Chain A
Amino acid sequence: MTVADVVRSTAPNSEGYFEFTLGEFHFRRDEYFVYISWPTGSHMMSVDAFLRAMQRDVAWDFFYGTVNFDGVFGTVNHYGTVDIFAGRFNDSYRKAELDYSENHETPAIRETFKSILADWTNAAFDPFASPHETGAAFGIKNGDNDSAVTRRRIAARRMVAVPGDEEIRTDESGFPVNRMFLDVDQSEPVVEVEPGFEGEVAAFNLFAYLSRSDVTWNPSVVSQCKDSLFCPTTEEYILPIIHGNDRVEWFVQLSDEITWAVEDRDTGAMRSRVTMKAGDVAAMPADIRHQGYSPKRSMLLVWENNSSAIPDLIASGKLPTYPIEF
């Protein structure tokens, strides 16, 4: 499926935005809100929150497990197909039998979401930026911001700074130090390489690399040990989605502080609050969903096991939902 196959209205609405359809789901926006409808109900979200969530879902290619845009609407990744749902992980919707879900081939939902994001993001708004760093998402159609919503996803194959792999960030490559990390040491490690080993002796300043990230809440791979992925990210304000796990993931707080609201993945019932300060390490069990709050831009290492076998092992009960028995 390509962009040309996306189902959208023949003309923009009175606010200048196209409307979109995927299966039985229909999407439209006006100055302030997004309106989502499906055969058993409808829903409204602030366009600001919707576009921030949509941006992550698209950038992560639907990520691991569930991306809840809020307590009603979201997606579940099956790695080849994606469920789009309303009320599926909301106890009230389930009990009222008003929940609704459709499964689509990944390219169909990917292209639809990319088209919505491109059309509904105005020139002044960057969905990846913190509220202090961007203009408003609201108002009638006013240009676009394609360069912001189509940023390249960074995924080192071995490690950042290894020759031929992802490069470090610099002023010259368009990544100035973020205003909240101006005090982070920018010196790169001294690397002495013997002839013939230029491709294997490598190091970089991870903290400087993160201090130059131009996005928030967007894990990107900096090193890979087989299926073990280091996915650090810089966080400010609120994680725009509520992430529902299909596997255990781990957090290492590298700087500053984040508080996580942790809920039951399926019902949304509160399970805990996790406060992480620099150096803290915590697992996020495979049956929870979480949303983070970062008062100041912080550095977070998200550590993932990328094995494709895990979701089925968790779902079938062959693996526990928590990582350690002690």
Chain B
Amino acid sequence: MSSGKPAAGGGTERSEYTTIFASLDNFDKGGVEIINDDARHYAFSNLFEVASKSKPWEKVAVAKNLEYVLEAVRAEGVSEWRTAAHDEFAVCMDGEVTVDLVKLDSSPLSADAQGSIAVNGEPAGKKMGRIHLKRGHQALLPAGSAYRFTSANPGVLMMQTIAGPDTQYRWAEICQTA
């Protein structure tokens, strides 16, 4: 045990702590211990395990609450350009990912469209900027913009968005069932 130091509450605590994050190469999954329930009701999965079995840039739902989803995305190489009519958010959970943003001259989506779609070819519009994400960084993907991710090495993104035509559902494969 490491040496301790006095805590404000009167006890003694460790002099230093190690924060455990996970990665594509190093994750340790917990689980549901059922007493009187059905494990499927918890839809228990792990972001890194899902991404480890995904193709680059597949958008695999790991959580869903009516129309809203969280997607695990394996970031590897250069993604297609995508756009949504609403704000989306990307959290870099592992690796380093660059986000390029373009303000579309004309959105292919109606204002109330849900989820993101691919943009055909290069997006037409003004460059908005570029964001360099590392682990733990969160970026806004503004409504009406086109965005493209680049990741030299395999990484993981968690997307806060609305289910769209390219959202993949693999619940039986990714979730604890018993």
Contact = CB atoms under 8 A, between A and B. Distances in A.
B33 A281 contact: no
Contacts of A321: 41
B9 interface: yes
Interface string B112-133: 0000000000000011111111
A227 B68 contact: yes
Contacts of A222: 138
Interface in A180-219: 180-185, 187-194, 196-197, 200-208, 211
A248 B19 contact: no
| Residue of A160, A190, A324 most packed against chain B (CB within 10 A) | A324
A142 to B, nearest CB: 16
A250 B35 CA distance: 20
Interface string B84-95: 001111010100
B1 interface: no
A68 B98 CA distance: 44
Interface string B145-158: 10000000000001
B162 A322 contact: no
B55 to A, nearest CB: 19
Interface string B3-40: 00001111101001111111000011111111111111
Nearest to A208: B136
A188 B140 CA distance: 14
A13 interface: no
Of the four ranges (under 10, 10 to 19, 20 to 34, 35 or more), the interface on chain A belongs to 35 or more
B36 A269 contact: yes
B67 to A, nearest CB: 9
B136 A273 contact: no
Given A272-B35, A303-B65, A134 B8 contact: yes
A200 B142 contact: yes
Contacts of B86: 225-226
Given A133-B7, A303-B63, A279 B27 contact: yes
A285 B70 contact: no
Contacts of A201: 101, 128-129, 131, 140, 142
B46 A326 contact: no
Interface in A135-181: 135-136, 158-160, 162, 179-181
A184 to B, nearest CB: 6
A250 B16 contact: no
A276 interface: yes
B109 interface: no
A247 B172 CA distance: 23
Contacts of B64: 323-324
Given A190-B132, A193-B129, A274-B42, A280 B138 contact: no
Contact of A203 (B27, B137, B160): B137
B104 interface: no
A120 interface: no
Given A272-B34, A279-B48, A180 B17 contact: yes
Given A274-B32, A280-B46, A205 B21 contact: no
A202 B171 CA distance: 32
Interface in A207-257: 207-208, 211, 222-228, 230, 247-250, 252-257
Contacts of B48: 279
Contacts of B7: 132-133
A271 B38 CA distance: 9
B80 interface: no
B89 to A, nearest CB: 5
Interface of B: 7-11, 13, 16-22, 27-49, 62-66, 68, 70, 86-89, 91, 93, 99, 101, 103, 126-140, 142, 145, 158, 160-162, 171-172, 175
17 contacts: A159-B138, A160-B138, A182-B16, A182-B17, A189-B137, A189-B139, A190-B131, A194-B127, A197-B129, A225-B86, A271-B34, A274-B44, A281-B47, A281-B62, A281-B70, A285-B42, A324-B40
